[in-house]
Structure 1
């Protein structure tokens, strides 16, 4: 029985043929090593999609998958045989040979239509190319051009431009209700004849490695026939191989072809798979474009289009889209009409998609993308029984997942953790330990609630089948997640020579709570820090350490040693910064500015975390910033940035920022140097210019006086600075410049009262001083919002009238609010 992998039509045909034939033994395309675990497919806890996983014992990363869905012909055949006690044997080339060859020279395809690692291009009958050294783009293009897609050739011969549509019309839409009136073997006879004609013309179809696989299949088929007779054997394989299995080839020729093949020791087990990984877009060569749709076709007992439209409507209604039963009826009618117009026997996926887009989505592709993701592809994740063979590390992870109620899921899931809770803290440790082992089940993400506290974490979880291989690889480090993560962290600490990587490892050890690995990492950190004198490297290494010091309080770990190392690094950055800033070109100054920002944030955070143990580190750091801000040899970009950091920290006296800007923008300063100073000073927010008219007037006056020959050189620097501001800030700054310098009204007249300060001076509607009566009018509303309103008091004041006389002195707390 030649089949298309993951084809529901083939699956139904296989089921009918097996029921009519009743074989004594069933041979299925797959690695013979899987014979030991095939019985697990009958367990009640086994739920497809699942996959056979074979990996080399000594090199777990060398692995291959054989995925099976509930609509895969192989799975249907295996389930039928196990229910009736019929022996099941896999008869493809052993994984011991295919994985060994894959590790040497790209070798042999480990299966008939499965995806080895790494992924490669498509093969006949939906098969994947062999694993091996990644070819170049040109080699890959030429190889794919030579490979034959039998379905595409047959579809083109039949006048179809889409192989999927041809397959649906010819196979999937064959009436299942009329199965009793048909010859159950007819579909396989037709496919065998078609594939035979293709192989006569195209030979191996660009897959010379299939010769060894088919030789082994013929040998196993001969053995089964000798044991059970010619009429007692049923074979389920890719349709492409049927002509080769039916060919008359001497036994000696087949054995000679298999002689001397390389071999490795392998282990085989079952692992969960996902519909998403069955999708062709995932890169899996034997994949199908719409596993969710095919699963529906296989499971629907009758009226598949009507049932599909009902599922689509249910999904859209769950997402708050207005879909009524009349939409479902109209969509079904449109799909059937489209099928008639296009000359198709029944409405297929293309017709249902077009009908849903027009009727239920009102022509929009936005909800259609949701339907494609949730239904057409789907995110189903299979399950395997506990009795399936697994490495000890996998078993420990399964135990932890159950105890922490953290079940793997095939779709994306956002997980919010509160580290003050024991269960959430344990979940965080598990996810961080797995990331350290290279098992990226969870990825840190930004919280949608906007919470940035150190006691909260947000993760994006998504279980991929490849993580089973990563777990097998990580098994070399230990038998438990904690032990393996500790051993790997120790090894990484000894082998890492870059200071920033060691500090990052220290942070990850703290997040993962690896107390036995942290001393080794700390020794490596101290050694690397003592040998590295580059200020940039030291500045990059500082933030992870400071974050680790903060995490210590929340996670209940001792981070004092890390705090001491961080303080030492901060001192070295402080001492080495002035000489490192001398003689920098434009690119060097831009890079140093980044290091400056990084170090400033880290040192401020470190001082806050250490409290009284700070020992004046922040004051000494700000002294260096003041020195750099006033030193002429420092590049303008760095000087301006130092001045801005001091201003934001409140360390510049009143008018000091204007004095520094005036010096930087004096006529004796080159325009490009002055523009660089402005870029460094104004980067990070334009509200400074909105609230300090003196600084705005200095920038405006300097820009108006830039010579014409230098203006084109200065403009890109300023445009880059102001382009980072929000549109509202840019609009306000422009309006302030249009109204003229501070102290002038709209027509150039001085404002009443002679005041010349404040952002509103000279603007219509703004007075020179506060109006206490108008300001106090808000206090009743504040009392009401804060729950401090007196009896009978409303937002309009006592008795419903404005309480303009209740000043700040009436309530000290409200006065501070005011």
Structure 2
């Protein structure tokens, strides 16, 4: 008689075959596969939501690739959701696949999601996050690591006080300080899953005995809701027995096996289920990632090394050698010198460490130590890459198109395929050139999803260009975005319709004027022409009623930026231009009176508004409308008023002078004169320091201004050396804030100039005016000397066609 036939003969026919497992355990998965192959039951019952029974056949589809997850969400509240993740090495997934391959019915028997979603909503301690409501998943992961491992086995258990981690208790009993290492030694390193003497059921018998002892000691172990779930499971088991007899196999968390084996009455189980609240629920398959499996909080499965577990499950033999070869391949891709000799030596070291530590096989700890010592030369930097890419991994599952989905998800899938923008778990940057049709459509899609609260992409600064036709996005698809898409489905059945409806609603509900102008900018970026009329109407009404200059100044920059984006994308922005010009006019009138009677904090905030308005007016002045041609002149008049009024705080007066100087509206001699007046002995040191901060402070290039204009630097130096000792401690914080914002090179150059002193600048000619480094007129001869070099850099000349590339005189 073969080993399999002998094993079948030992299956206890007195009741269902209970296969207690660790969720996402490759050893458990192998053992389940061996036990099912030996027992050949007539039906397989699996821990999971019964609403997903109709989705089980999709697991056999060719384009279904784990990791995936069952997603349940409330129909009327899509953000209320729960996940049941499954990896290739999950025992539940192995059971599903075995049942489909052998034409055996497979059913889920856990408490329906229609109840567990309500539990998530009523959980007082849970965050109000759309994706953290899964108590059905987390409550069942007690065997994974949810409570302290040093729980007192003799202490009384209170349902809300102690949550038992069975693995930690068993590991501690066996003399291990690490539950993961104990599980690897007793389960993962067993091989094919058969127990002693070829019995495939031995692992489950032993684990059931251990869990039975724990349940006798700890009761529910703090998982009081498990009593309700287990009552429902027993009812489902009885129903399956009436239909198939005792040839029923149950795959569930090992913690539940003693409770399912316990004999109770049907009436008692139904009494526990009576009166449970319900919510209407939809369910589907969604892609999952290894990185999500590694998260311990919320609905995460909480395994530390999904990539390693996947390798153990998939490796047919010699797992250590295959793993270290894979590590070597990754490090070679990163241009590290790793040879075959490194792999051989790492295998020897890992096996030696395992023998010294008394382990049956080298585990993740030993292989990691070997990689660090042999392949990474003791450095944790490349080791972190190995952990991120291999131990955890960036595997993203796939689900078939036949899986149920909300219409919005269908439309998003269609757009993603058309734009060749595939969701990926690995973070990557996407450079877009908005002058290209495909890139422009990609930009619109990402902006629309961002507006819908589906942050697939995050805008980042472009490295190569600052032009408005460039965009850079950092893309990363996270599984919970499927929930966000389902939640956004209430706004419409297509991405365009949903984004339009969401924008209109947000405009009406916007708390302030700046929020409406920011929304108008987002509508232009997302190209939502149908939403703009509503947004513009709300914007016009809010602008007419808001008299706060600070609010108007906050709103103007976003509105003007919208004009630039609209110009790049070919959008009609005429209405926005009129509103922006109206806001600018009201700011011009209201800003001078608003700059009086301000404390230091209010003055600094208004100074930032002045900077923002200055940039916005510069852009708005380029608008083609004739009525806006003199906006810059009127703004410069406002700046002159601000620079001359003594009632205006020094930080604003100084910044107004600086902006006029940068715009060519104020001569350098006049700026020096104004600085000299402010820094005269009659001005309080605090006011003078504030003026300096406004004039040369922040990252506005003030440091370079002092470097190249030693007149201004000399004025500041002379004033600072003359500040009385008793006032110096008052002005020091302002000066420190001013100069600490400069680049290190600028600060170093300023220090050198101050150390040399006035008139002793090395290498500079002293002009007739007596100002080192400056001359009254342009030196044409020296300027002409650099022309050949500039032409060569710009490609205006060639070096091989006889053109004049004479660089003589460059060094003059």
Residues 26 and 548 of structure 1: CA distance in aligned 2, closer, same or farther (over 3 Å): same
- 1:590-630, CA deviations, whole angstroms, 9 ceiling, x for partnerless residues? 11111111111111122134475533001101111111111
The corresponding residue for 2:712 is 695
Structure 1 distance, partners of 2:135, 2:295, is: 15
**Corresponding residue SS for 1:39:** helix
Q: 1:433 aligned to 2:451?
A: no
Q: Return 64-73 or 154-163, whichever deviates more.
A: 154-163
2:535 to 521, 524, 531: 521
- 1:193-216, CA deviations, whole angstroms, 9 ceiling, x for partnerless residues? 111111101000001111100000
Q: 1:200 aligned to 2:216?
A: yes
The corresponding residue for 1:147 is 163
Preserved CA contact (<8 Å) 1:122 1:144? no
The 5 A counterparts of 1:521-540 are: 521-540=535-554
**Corresponding residue SS for 1:159:** coil
Q: 1:30 aligned to 2:44?
A: no
Q: 1:270 aligned to 2:308?
A: no
Unaligned runs of 5+ in 1: 109-113, 130-141, 762-767, 808-817
Q: CA deviation at 1:782?
A: 4.9
The corresponding residue for 2:231 is 215
The corresponding residue for 2:58 is 40
Structure 2 distance, partners of 1:122, 1:223, is: 23
Q: Return 185-194 or 94-103, whichever deviates more.
A: 94-103
Structure 1 distance, partners of 2:599, 2:433, is: 46
The corresponding residue for 2:392 is 377
Q: CA deviation at 1:794?
A: 9.3
The corresponding residue for 2:721 is 704
Preserved CA contact (<8 Å) 2:20 2:208? yes
The CA RMSD over aligned residues, in Å, is: 2.6
Residues 682 and 669 of structure 1: CA distance in aligned 2, closer, same or farther (over 3 Å): same
Preserved CA contact (<8 Å) 1:784 1:795? no
Preserved CA contact (<8 Å) 1:59 1:473? yes
Unaligned runs of 5+ in 2: 1-18, 127-131, 148-157
Q: 1:638 aligned to 2:652?
A: yes
Structure 2 distance, partners of 1:518, 1:163, is: 58
Q: 1:498 aligned to 2:494?
A: no
The corresponding residue for 1:137 is none
Structure 2 distance, partners of 1:394, 1:790, is: 58
Structure 2 distance, partners of 1:757, 1:793, is: 43
Q: 1:226 aligned to 2:276?
A: no
Q: CA deviation at 1:588?
A: 1.0
Preserved CA contact (<8 Å) 1:123 1:148? no
Residues 307 and 613 of structure 1: CA distance in aligned 2, closer, same or farther (over 3 Å): farther
Structure 2 distance, partners of 1:790, 1:592, is: 55
Residues 441 and 790 of structure 1: CA distance in aligned 2, closer, same or farther (over 3 Å): closer
**Corresponding residue SS for 2:501:** helix
**Corresponding residue SS for 1:369:** helix
Q: CA deviation at 1:174?
A: 0.7
Preserved CA contact (<8 Å) 2:211 2:254? yes
Q: CA deviation at 1:104?
A: 3.5
Q: Return 623-632 or 605-614, whichever deviates more.
A: 605-614
2:747 to 725, 730, 740: 730
Residues 233 and 791 of structure 1: CA distance in aligned 2, closer, same or farther (over 3 Å): closer
Preserved CA contact (<8 Å) 2:766 2:772? no
The corresponding residue for 2:429 is 414
Using structure 2 for the length normalisation, give the TM-score. 0.91
Residues 394 and 772 of structure 1: CA distance in aligned 2, closer, same or farther (over 3 Å): closer
Residues 745 and 197 of structure 1: CA distance in aligned 2, closer, same or farther (over 3 Å): closer
Preserved CA contact (<8 Å) 1:128 1:284? no
Structure 1 distance, partners of 2:365, 2:23, is: 21
The corresponding residue for 1:489 is 503
Structure 2 distance, partners of 1:78, 1:553, is: 55
1:509 to 523, 534, 537: 523
Q: CA deviation at 1:160?
A: 1.0
Structure 2 distance, partners of 1:448, 1:422, is: 22
Q: Return 424-433 or 93-102, whichever deviates more.
A: 93-102
Structure 2 distance, partners of 1:770, 1:504, is: 46
Preserved CA contact (<8 Å) 1:607 1:614? yes
- Number of residue-to-residue matches in the alignment: 775
Q: CA deviation at 1:704?
A: 1.0
The 5 A counterparts of 1:589-600 are: 589-600=603-614
Structure 2 distance, partners of 1:71, 1:403, is: 33
2:329 to 302, 314, 329: 314
Structure 2 distance, partners of 1:185, 1:753, is: 98
Residues 337 and 283 of structure 1: CA distance in aligned 2, closer, same or farther (over 3 Å): farther
**Corresponding residue SS for 2:462:** coil
Preserved CA contact (<8 Å) 2:462 2:471? yes
**Corresponding residue SS for 2:84:** strand
The corresponding residue for 2:9 is none
The corresponding residue for 1:813 is none
Residues 93 and 583 of structure 1: CA distance in aligned 2, closer, same or farther (over 3 Å): same
Structure 1 distance, partners of 2:290, 2:766, is: 74
**Corresponding residue SS for 1:448:** coil
The corresponding residue for 1:16 is 34
Q: CA deviation at 1:487?
A: 0.9
The 5 A counterparts of 1:549-698 are: 549-610=563-624, 612=626, 614-683=628-697, 684-685=700-701, 686-698=703-715
**Corresponding residue SS for 1:176:** coil
**Corresponding residue SS for 1:67:** strand
**Corresponding residue SS for 2:621:** helix
The corresponding residue for 1:788 is 797
Q: CA deviation at 1:265?
A: 1.3
Residues 54 and 122 of structure 1: CA distance in aligned 2, closer, same or farther (over 3 Å): closer
Preserved CA contact (<8 Å) 1:155 1:163? yes
Structure 1 distance, partners of 2:124, 2:474, is: 35
Q: CA deviation at 1:367?
A: 1.2
Structure 2 distance, partners of 1:584, 1:628, is: 14
